[in-house]
A = this chain, B = another copy of it.
């Protein structure tokens, strides 16, 4: 599950151990961690899609990142602080709750895991940077194309792509909040991408007909994902 880096079997075993304890299901639209909580646990997404989001007093919502199976919620949470945003389930989700001292112990026992956490962190920040660039400077169609490329590669990395199609369980309003637009415009843009023959989206599944074309349309450069 963790990064494509050298990990001894014992390291994997240690991770497995953490992931198996305290597994918890979360219903769609429920918060995993609330916006003003004093979070104690780190969470590992085992199944389903979640997101970090920030909610403004007037109701506007900004989805700040998407969390897919295999993603770790807050490696740095060990260093405690009040939450400034929330983590919510977009679909039905199952998460593993991991206590900070467990992480600390695991890292001390198996130093390679510390390296893993740093890599995880590095990837997270790279992803966030690309999102800022997207929302800041890409047009509507570029944003959506870019997001689809990103999701495809991230899901493929953890074995959740089925050929050229991936699950796409999020609603159009969700996409809108993630891309800084309205659901109406997301719908228009989807129509355009379909019309261009780049994708098909039906029944919560996205099929990418032309990945190269989609990448070009979204100014997508996979470097930031740090794939193998």
Contacts and interface: CB of A to CB of B under 8 A. Distances in A.
Interface stretch (A14-22, A118-126, A152-160): A118-126
Given A76-B121, A79-B122, A81-B122, A64 B133 contact: yes
Interface in A32-68: 52, 54, 56-57, 60-65
B135 A226 contact: no
Oligomeric state, in copies: 2
A226 B129 contact: no
Interface in A61-86: 61-65, 76, 78-79, 81-82, 84-85
Contacts of A62: 132-133, 136-137
Nearest to A224: B84
A137 B56 contact: yes
Contact of A79 (B84, B118, B136): B118
Decide if the interface of chain A is mainly helix, strand, loop or mixed: helix
Given A57-B219, A125-B128, A129-B128, A226 B81 contact: yes
Interface residues of A, number: 43
A137 B59 CA distance: 11
A208 to B, nearest CB: 22
Contacts of A118: 76, 78-79
A125 B122 contact: no
A56 B219 contact: yes
Contacts of A135: 132, 135-136, 180
